[in-house]
Amino acid sequence: MTPFVKRLGFSLIALTVAVCALPAAAGELPLFDGRDLTGLVHVDDGAGKTMALATDMLAGDLTALSGQAPKTSATPETCARTCILIGLYDAPAIRKLAREGGVDLSDLKGQWEVYRRVVIRREGRAYVLIAGSDVRGAVYGAVDLSRELGVSAWSWWADVTPRRQDRLAISDAAVTSQTPSVKYRGVFINDEDWGLEPWAAKTLDPKTGNIGPKTYARVYELLWRLKADTLWPAMHSISTPFFGNPGNAPLAKDYAIVIGTSHAEPMLRNNLREWDETKQGPFDFTHNRSAILDYWRERIDQSRPYEDIYTVGLRGIHDGPMQGATTTAQREQILEDVIGLQRGLLEKELKTPIAYVPQVYVAYHELQEAYDAGLNIPDDVTLMWADDNYGYIRELSTPEEQKRSGGSGVYYHLSYWGRPHDYLWLATTHPALVHEEMQRAYAENDRRIWIVNVGDIKPAEYLTQYFLDLAFDAHSFDETPRDYLKGFMSAQFGPEHADELADLMMRYYDLAFARRPEFMGFGQTEWVTPNQPDAFAESDGEEAQARILAYQNITARAEKLAALMPADRQSAYFELVLYPVRAAANLNTRIMSLDLASLYAREQRASANAYVAQARTAHARIVADTATYNGLENGKWRNIMDMAPRALPVFDEPMWPNWSTSTKTGCDLALSGQWYNDHNTLPFVAGRAEDRPVTLFAHQPVEADWRQTKGADHLSLSAISGTLNSDDRYEARLVLHYDGQGPAGDAEIHLSCGGEDHTIYVRILSALPAGVPVEDNRIVTIPAASQTTGKDWRVIDGLGSLDGVLRARLDLPTQPDDAPPQSDPAVYRFATSTSVGGALKLIALPTHPLTRDMKVRVAAQLDDGPVQTFDFSTLGRSDEWRENVLTNTAVRELPLRMLTAGEHTLKVWPLDPGVMLDRIDIDLDGARAHYGPAPSEPQTQAQTQSH
């Protein structure tokens, strides 16, 4: 991870540390020899309290690392033989020392959040000089020094405790940081009702009883350590408004943090708590203009001493629709009037030319609609694009918009409350999606301001850092999301387990990409709908079994690694890895196990109540793990974690059914196959080694011995005998393996269970061409990224349902609708065994047009058929869009009246830049219902035991 910088407001400090008594290696400067750590030299240069706070931060890190508290000296001349001086490049002490050391710092003048670190040796002393182009630049120099010594950005917020060192040293090579890739980078604390606010009010700062300066001091320091410079403060009705506590804003100034607000809080005003309709009248600009202007003027006067970004525009109270307007045209006219008046107020009250006052227009919901309809935004106002709340940016700047002096930026979500469903509990946005979407924004020059909605901060720690690292240093895009995650894990837990942890957490994100844990109730919010049966348990339940198993596997891996973590990393590991992994696994297991219980009860299986018990155990584990989280570090995090934010139906403890014992006796088979000759038959393709699930089950909870009595060539079961009993839920989940060598034809395998004969019918279909995807149980699944592509497609690894997608290049010229495609196609070959109808499904990620004058289109041709155009665009918050973001798919279907047996060719051309193709599914008539790609290979009984 590339070290970078940021900017703040400081007084000058010099930090002094004793020269190491041990011999120094070439190219390094020892700071601590295991015995002596001298103090800090603090030279006040009139920059306020910022440098004193930075001194305290660095001193605290050195104390944690060395076990000694550094002392303070008045001047560099009285410090020990090694000193670290931190301050503005033109501060007198910095300037004097640089001049004596022959170091020129003049080129730092005017740069944004940059520092230079040099070692100057003279008169038997060594000085580490960290000179900032501005105050935040100097602070980030201190942050990078701390990182180099091994202190995590999450030392306090995730309990990655700095480890005691016998020796401290840094490189003595000169370093000049780069200007941050994005000018303003920060977080939005939002929907804080279930974590941050109750924790602040009851645990961290009960005297204040809310989120106040004590909490914000921790937030500001975290922003320093993440090299962010901007905060949108908590703004729900449960929280004291930011300016409502007189200590919040001055403290932000001390930390040199820029304060801004969301689209719902124009002019730094928290309308939800600060506008009193009983006293001030309706928040309706068309009828109450004077009162609203006074309301804004008051905040400008209050915020004048601080560094702020003013959001312009107008929304209703608490992000509701604008009052006094019912059409887009009316909103557009009101907004144009409002923005003009707001800018006039800013210029007059701040006594600054308006072009020098940072302003932003956040194009979110109706504000985007008004802008797209033609609203004129002054050139010096930053245009801020928003994602659709689910990680897909709705639009980015056109070439003309990229020329605006105010620039543009992005507001992005890692947490969300609203339609179609919240995800406030676990942070599961896929890092590969963050990488892809923000790389698009950077490529389209939307680089002025990036803000990410992090909810309660916890448990979004990694994703927050990843977003901010990408914003700070665009070179971070060069690393794959998986490799970047590995670097993060190495920094927190050491390199020995970093690979395993990266793979584990990427699998966690992969599983959530198919459907987030919060969405597993298959209901919606606002208005809240009841839970629905989960689609993974449709048909024969094998998709649900595969998903439960996948979560059990990553849980087992996470628990195995937990046992290897040293004592000083146990809390951090629980917060960053074990809780999110196990909580996601248990919610999925609870929901799908209950649906499997219902399915199996209909089939009169004795196992139905055992699946209810599995679900009940999973729920109890969520409760227990949440209590453990809130008790970590002697109660430090009490009230931070709520396992049921907003108490939505998906989180409710369900009624626990108890199924009556079946009246049927004996055993039966459940096969995941097709019907041939009145038999449920397992199909295979000659020449292709494949597996199929087979479940042998008892109808009643009575022990029954079973064994294979007749086999077949080239077919083998994962077990050939056993006993159905309570240990395995009175079922044997088996795998039938075909080795690919047997010829086409029918075969039978016979089992005896409880004295009765049961037959597994098998059909080996005719051989199909080698090297191409083939019909698999009536389904052909083709990963979009599996084929060699031309110059107009790019493979994006690690994203999508099959670990890779195809993306049309971002500079692809958009193609006209009425002309043959001019781009290069992706060409796919596949084969089917039978002549039958069905549907070919092109499955894309639900991205939006790159800019408003584009679409999200591909053209497709099957064999020699017509070239057809498909547009994945959706309208607003339509039902289709809702389903798309819940599933992370966008589907367009080509009906197939009759697909002949044999080999076929599919060509797919990109027609718009940025369209991302995930996979192609060909569901032939008779295919079983499936939520995602065909379920992974079936597993044996031992592999599917509940964890």
Using 50, 70 and 90 to split pLDDT, how confident is the model at 51? confident
C-alpha neighbours within 13 Å on the C-beta side of residue 42: 21
- Residue 803, helix vs strand vs coil: coil
Residue 935 pLDDT: 60
Q: Is the pTM of this model over 0.85?
A: yes
Q: What is the pLDDT of residue 224?
A: 98
pLDDT number for residue 936: 52
Looking at the chain, the whole-number percentage of residues with pLDDT higher than 70 is 95
Distance from C-alpha of 41 to C-alpha of 842, rounded to nearest angstrom: 65
Residue 219 has pLDDT above 80, yes or no: yes
Residues 658-696: pLDDT tens digits? 999 999 999 999 998 888 888 899 999 999 999 999 999
- For residue 712, count CB atoms less than 10 angstroms from its CB and return exposed for 0-12, middle for 13-18, buried for 19 or more: middle
**What SS3 string covers 456-522?**
CCCCCHHHHHHHHHHHHCHHHHHCCHHHHHHHHHHHHHCHHHHHHHHHHHHHHHHHHHHCCHHHCCC
| Model confidence pLDDT, tens digit, residues 533-547 | 999 998 899 999 999
Residue 45 reports pLDDT greater than 90: no
Q: How confident is the model at residue 23 (pLDDT cuts 50, 70, 90)?
A: very low
> Whole-number mean pLDDT of the chain?
93
Give the model's pLDDT for residue 15. Answer: 41
Residue 677: per-residue pLDDT: 83
Predicted confidence (pLDDT) per residue in 352-404, tens digit: 999 999 999 999 988 999 999 999 999 999 999 999 999 999 999 999 999 99
Tens of pLDDT, residue by residue over 609-636, are 999 999 999 999 999 999 999 999 999 9
Residue in 761, 748, 738 with CA at minimum distance from that of residue 687: 738
Read off the tokens for 404. 């605006």
Q: Is the peptide bond before 527 cis (omega within 30 degrees of 0)?
A: yes
- Over residues 162-166, the mean pLDDT reads 96
Q: Are 926 and 778 within 8 A, CB to CB?
A: yes
Burial of 425 (0-12, 13-18, 19+ CB in 10 A): buried
Query: What does the DSSP assignment read for 604-637?
Result: T-TTHHHHHHHHHHHHHHHHHHHHHHHHHHHHTT
User: Do the Cβ atoms of 440 and 396 come closer than 8 Å?
Assistant: yes
In this structure, what token pair is assigned to residue 855?
């679409």
Mean pLDDT of the 304-324 span: 92
Q: For residue 99, is pLDDT > 70?
A: yes
- The whole-number pLDDT of residue 678 equals 82
Categorize the per-residue pLDDT at 2 as very low, low, confident or very high, splitting at 50, 70 and 90: very low
Q: What confidence tier does 943 reach under pLDDT thresholds 50, 70, 90?
A: very low
Upstream peptide bond of 420 is cis (omega within 30 degrees of 0): yes
CB 31 within 8 A of CB 168: yes
Residue 77's pLDDT is: 80
Segments in 537-607 forming alpha helices (H): 542-562, 570-573, 579-602
Which residue type is seen at 315? R
State mean pLDDT over 14-43: 62
Rg of the chain in Å (alpha carbons): 31
* 534 contacts 594 by C-beta, under 8 angstroms: no
Residue 604, pLDDT > 50, answer yes
Q: Residues 144, 100: contact at Cβ < 8 Å? A: no
Residue 137 has pLDDT above 60, yes or no: yes
Question: What pLDDT is stored for residue 674 in this prediction?
Answer: 86
pLDDT at 834: 85
Q: In the predicted model, what is the mean pLDDT of residues 203-231?
A: 98
Q: What is the pLDDT of residue 21?
A: 35
On whether the CB atoms of residues 245 and 208 are closer than 8 A, the answer is yes
Tell me if the bond preceding 820 is cis, omega within 30° of 0. no
Predicted pLDDT at 321: 86
CA atoms of 461 and 426, how far apart (whole Å): 11
Each residue's pLDDT tens digit, 400-431:
999 999 999 999 999 999 999 999 999 999 99
Q: What pLDDT does 52 receive?
A: 83
% residues pLDDT > 90 (the chain): 84
902: helix, coil or strand?
Answer: strand
When pLDDT is cut at 50, 70 and 90, the band that residue 836 belongs to is very high
pLDDT category of residue 46 using cuts at 50, 70 and 90:
low
- 323 or 622, which is more confident? 622
Please say if the pLDDT value at position 39 is more than 90.
no
Residue of higher predicted confidence among 870 and 946: 870
Contact predicate 256/10, CB 8 Å: yes
Q: Tell me, what DSSP letter sits at residue 77?
A: G
Condensed to tens digits (0 to 9), the pLDDT of residues 691-731 reads 999 999 999 999 999 999 999 999 999 999 999 999 999 99
Residue 206 pLDDT: 98
Which pLDDT does position 13 carry in this prediction? Answer: 40
Average pLDDT over residues 476-503: 98
Q: Which of 282, 199, 203 is nearest to 239 (CA)?
A: 199
pLDDT attached to residue 155: 98
